[in-house]
Amino acid sequence: MGQRYSFDLFYPVDRVEAALRATAAVANTRGRKRTGTQVRLSTGGFVIVPFTHGFKFTAEALALTADPPVRLNTVLLFPADEAVQAYHGKNAVKPVWTEEGVECLPVGFIYLTVHLGVEYALFSYAAATGAMSDLFRDSAAVWGRFAELLTTAGGLVGFFNTWEAVGKHRYALLPDGRRLIELDFFEFVLEERDWYWHLDVDRYASAALRASRG
């Protein structure tokens, strides 16, 4: 199955709605008959996103809380650079053109897990397969898309996560991976649960911010 890489983006907690809306804006919605899934924000408001939960649209709203995190299944559009085109190979995939005339192709499922802290939130976009992980690593268009999601929604710092090491590990920062930071992910794990790590999101975000400014 190969490696499962991710892009991990940190936001102020009051930018969660903006981050969800920014992600929804680059989602592939062609052929969808349902509006989407309703997510209840910690502030009490709601956002409807064109993503599934457990690979289906849910009738009840998903509540964003500190524990557990919310996992959504997304299909996102990326500019069709050589790596994105090669990922699809000979499969007949219809492009989607933006208003600016940019050809995009859908990639998914990408697993979006939203971890909520008191001050910060972590949006982790994980590849579903080894081939998709390779695409995440190699495509400038994919890196550019996640950098765009970070900046347009008021994010703080984001990096590419290869999940290769226990202990301190170097992470390539958005937008282009030229700068690296060093963190020990497991310093921020409060407890391992059935399907996720319960994280101290605020400490994790603060450490990533300090490292990125060093």
pLDDT of residue 92: 82
pLDDT along the chain (214 residues), means of 10: 85 97 94 78 90 76 93 96 95 90 96 97 97 97 98 98 84 97 95 93 98 93
What tokens does 96 get?
Answer: 């989607």
Got the DSSP string for 93-126? ---EE-TT--EEEEEEEEEEEEEE-SSEEEEEEE
Phi, psi of 81 (to 5 degrees): -75, 180
What tokens does 176 get?
Answer: 């282009």
pLDDT of residue 31: 64
Measured N-to-C along each axis, helices 140-152 and 16-25 cross at an angle, to the nearest 10 degrees, of: 140
**Closest by CA position to 134, among listed 86, 70, 90:** 86
Type of residue found at 197: W
CA-based angle 47:53:59, to the nearest 5? 65
Question: What are 171's strand-pairing partners?
Answer: 181
What tokens does 164 get?
Answer: 């290769």
DSSP category for residue 61: P
pLDDT of residue 55: 67
